[in-house]
Amino acid sequence: MISIKVKRQEEIKNMLCSCENCIDIDDYLQKLYQLGKKLSYQENFKKKFDFFNALGNEERLKIIEILKEKDRCVCELEYALDKSQSSISHHLRILETAGLIRGWKKGKFTYYGIEKDQLKKYLDVLNEDFRFLK
């Protein structure tokens, strides 16, 4: 069930009992464990993970910033970011897999643009999830 070592489980129980009024610490820990497990199965959690994973890199954030202005081909992104084509393509694949951008062929070039509807969906999920902050 739980992969935390028995010794560490006991340490956690003792710490929690020292700062909480622990009546049934085992029941409380089971609820905490279930809370963590439940996150893995929530669709919105996966969406948030994909969104943050895609944007959790400086180069990908720069690409999004550049594409906000207008759609661009890979060579324009290469020049703007002073990075190799393979590096840019790697980041574009991650952004495209997350649905934040899309690519299309135009002659012999591939252009990329922001998928505004998908980006809005991600932001709506985040706004809904963090509404308690208001």
Out of 3.20.20.70, 1.10.10.10, 1.10.3720.10, 3.30.470.10, the CATH code matching 44-123 is: 1.10.10.10
Q: DSSP states of 1-38 as a string?
A: ---S-HHHHHHHHHHHHHHS--S-HHHHHHHHHHHHHH
Report pLDDT digits (tens) over 15-29: 888 776 667 778 888
Sheet with strand 109-114: strands edge to edge: 72-73, 109-114, 101-106
Q: Give the model's pLDDT for residue 2.
A: 63
Model-wide pTM > 0.85: no
Q: Domain coordinates of the chain in residue numbers?
A: 6-41, 44-123
Report pLDDT digits (tens) over 41-65: 777 788 888 889 999 999 999 999 9
